[in-house]
Structure 1
Amino acid sequence: MKLSLLFPLAISLAALSACTDPSVANKAVAAQNSEISATASAAVHGMVIFGTDTLFVSHIPMYMSPHDYQSIMQVKISHPTSDALAVYQKALGTSGKQTLFTVRPKPFVLPNLLNGKISSFTADLYKGNFEQGGKVVLSNVTVTVEENLYTTQLSKSTAAVDALTYIPVETADSSYLVHQISAPNNFDHIVQIQWLNKGSNSTADFPSTVDETSPINVEPLPVKEEIVFKTFSVADKEANRLQAGQYFSVSEDGTIAETATATGAAFRVVSDFYCTQGPDFYNLCD
C-alpha cells in the first residue's frame, strides 16, 4: 500500500515560527553508509512497530555506534507457519487505538539494512516493550523493509533544534506523528492521530522549507528524496510533546493551533503510545 502522505512535519501551537533547516541539527545519512557497514558490528536493534494493515518500524536509537540512527521504515511481516499480520492485528485489538508493540531482532548490522545490502531481519514480536516486561506475541518473525521513509545519523554533538518537530507517517487507514530526534537530551515519541477535516492534510496548506539532501539513496530500498519540514512555535522539549486528547486546527496561512474542542479542529491525537527519554531512550517520559 502506498503512502498517501509522507514528510517531516512540525505544527504551530500558536504562531508559526521561522522554519528550521533540519540539516543544521541532523546529519543526513548518505551513500557513505557502505563504509560505515564495513566497520559496524552486529547488534540487537530494538524497534517500535505500529500500524494496522500497513506496518512501520521506528528504530530505538542510542548516541553511540552501531545504534546511532533514527530510522523509520515501512515493513511487512511474515512467518513460516502463521499469518504474522493476523496475529499482530488480533493482539492489537479492535479499539482503533494504537498500543505499544516492539520487535527484538536477532543481531544484525543496522547500516547494512539502511544502505540496502540486506532487506530483512528476523525478530520476536512483543506486545509492550521487550526491555520492560513486554510479552512475546510471535517468535521468529521475518521483517522485510518495503521503503526507507526517514533515516538520520545521530551524534553526541548533534545540535538541539528550536522548535518541536514531528515526522508524519500516513496511509489510507492510519496516521501517525514521529518526533524528530536531535540533541542527546531529546526524546523519542510516537502518537496516533485522526484527521477530522482531511482537507487540511495537504502540502498546499502549509508554508514549507525543503531539505534536498536525500537521507539515504542506495538501491534497492526506495527512499523519499524530498523532505519538507515545518515548525511548532513551542520549544522542542518533552513537556511540550503532543498528548492524547488534544485537538488542532489549521488556519489558512498554515498555522496549526491547539483547540479546546473538536469544533473546527483538523485532527486530534488519538493515542500517545510511546515516549522515552534520551540519551539512551530507555526511561519513560515524565
Structure 2
Amino acid sequence: MSEQHEHEHEHEHGSGHGGHGGDGTMGLHGMLLFGEGALYLSHLPMFQRPHNFQVILEVGFDEAAGEVLSADRESGGQGLYTFEPEEFHITELDPGGDGPERSSIEGTIYRGHFERGGLPIARAVAEVRNVVYFKKLDVGAGHVADQDLAYLCFGRAGQLHFVHRITAKPDFDQVLAARLVPGTVTDMAGRPVGEDVTRDFDHAVPVEFQGRRDTPQFRLSPKETAEGAFFATIAPQGFHGFRVQVETDRELYLELRELGSG
C-alpha cells in the first residue's frame, strides 16, 4: 500500500535558534513507524532547518503502547502509522563521538499520518535501541540528476527494508519492504560467488541501482526485481562489494512534494 503525504505544518513548531549546543535543531520531528519483528522510526525530512536530517532508528515501545499497536494492526490497521514526538533536538540522536545523548523519545502513535487526519491510538515511549542511519542534509545543495539511483538497506534477514537515500533538493522519500533473491549473488565484476548474503543489516548500507537515474521517475516499484550493487559492503568470502537481485514487496511510504520533487 503506497502512501503520499505532506507535513508542512509540523515545521512551524520549535524552529527557533539556540537550544542543544546552540545548533537550533529543536523541533517536532515527525516520524514514519514501520516494521514487523523489529520496529523502525524514519524521520520525515525537509530541506529546511531544523528538519534537514535523514534519520532511521530501531526502537521498542513500552509494553502498554506496544500492545495497543499490535492489537490495532491485528484489527485491520495494516496501512500507514506515524509517530508524533514531543519536541526535542534531533542532534541528540547523532551516534558520532561518544554515541547518542538521547535513549528514548516520548510521543503519540497514530494510525495514519498525524498531520493528515490520522487517529491517535496510544501515548508511547520509544526506546532507541539502535541508530540505523543519521545524516545531516545540506539545505543549499543541488541534486545531481544523472547520479545512480541509491537506497539504504537495513533490517533482519528475510525482513529487509530499502529507504531512498536523500542527498539534495529536489529529492524524494520512499520506504519499501524487500528481500535479496537467493542464488543471485555475484562479485562486482558479475562473476557468481556461490554463496548467499542473507543476513541482518543492523546499520544501513548503501545500495546503487546502476543505470537508473536518481529521480522519482526511475524509483523502485512494488513487485519489481532489479540488480543492486552493495559497493561498500564486505561479501561472505571477504571481497569488497557484491551484486545481487533485489525483489521489492510493498511500498510503505512515498513523499515527493516535501522534498521538492512534486
Task: Provide the TM-score with structure 2 as the length reference.
Answer: 0.71
Query: How far is the alpha carbon of 1:110 from its aligned partner?
Result: 0.9
- 2:216 is the alignment partner of 1:235: no
- Match for residue 144 of structure 1 among 112, 127, 136: 127
RMSD of equivalent CA atoms: 3.2
- Match for residue 112 of structure 1 among 84, 89, 92: 92
Partner of 2:21: 38
The structure carrying a bigger strand percent of its residues is: 2
Partner of 1:185: 170
- Match for residue 151 of structure 2 among 142, 163, 166: 166
Question: Separation in 1 of the partners of 2:155 and 2:176?
Answer: 12
Partner of 2:194: none
Query: How far is the alpha carbon of 1:38 from its aligned partner?
Result: 0.9
- Match for residue 54 of structure 1 among 23, 38, 45: 38
- 2:65 is the alignment partner of 1:87: no
Query: How far is the alpha carbon of 1:136 from its aligned partner?
Result: 1.4
Matches within 5 A, 1:116-127: 116-127=100-111
Deviations 1:87-117 (A, max 9, x none): 223333499x963211000111111122512
Give the AA of the match of 2:118: G
- Match for residue 244 of structure 1 among 210, 222, 227: 222
Name structure 1 gaps, 5 residues minimum. 1-34, 209-222, 257-265
Query: How far is the alpha carbon of 1:254 from its aligned partner?
Result: 5.3
Query: How far is the alpha carbon of 1:171 from its aligned partner?
Result: 0.6
Question: Separation in 2 of the partners of 1:69 and 1:237?
Answer: 19
Question: Separation in 1 of the partners of 2:249 and 2:206?
Answer: 24
- 2:256 is the alignment partner of 1:277: yes
Question: Separation in 1 of the partners of 2:213 and 2:25?
Answer: 36
Distance 1:76 1:233, change over 3 A: same
Query: How far is the alpha carbon of 1:170 from its aligned partner?
Result: 1.9
Secondary structure class of the residue paired with 1:232: strand
Partner of 1:27: none
Check conservation: 1:104, 1:123, Cα contact below 8 A.
Answer: yes
Question: Separation in 1 of the partners of 2:183 and 2:78?
Answer: 23
Q: Which has the higher contact order (CA 8 A, sep 6+)?
A: 1
Distance 1:160 1:249, change over 3 A: closer
Secondary structure class of the residue paired with 2:143: coil
- 2:118 is the alignment partner of 1:134: yes
Query: How far is the alpha carbon of 1:47 from its aligned partner?
Result: 0.6
Give the AA of the match of 1:232: Q
Task: Provide the TM-score with structure 1 as the length reference.
Answer: 0.65
Give the AA of the match of 2:156: T
Query: How far is the alpha carbon of 1:156 from its aligned partner?
Result: 2.3
Question: Separation in 2 of the partners of 1:250 and 1:231?
Answer: 5
Distance 1:101 1:155, change over 3 A: same
Deviates more, 1:181-190 or 1:230-239: 230-239
Check conservation: 1:53, 1:173, Cα contact below 8 A.
Answer: no
- Match for residue 153 of structure 1 among 136, 142, 145: 136
Name structure 2 gaps, 5 residues minimum. 1-17, 190-201, 230-240
Query: How far is the alpha carbon of 1:272 from its aligned partner?
Result: 0.9
Distance 1:142 1:112, change over 3 A: same
Deviations 1:180-227 (A, max 9, x none): 0111110000011144x3344x6xx3539xxxxxxxxxxxxxx95x95
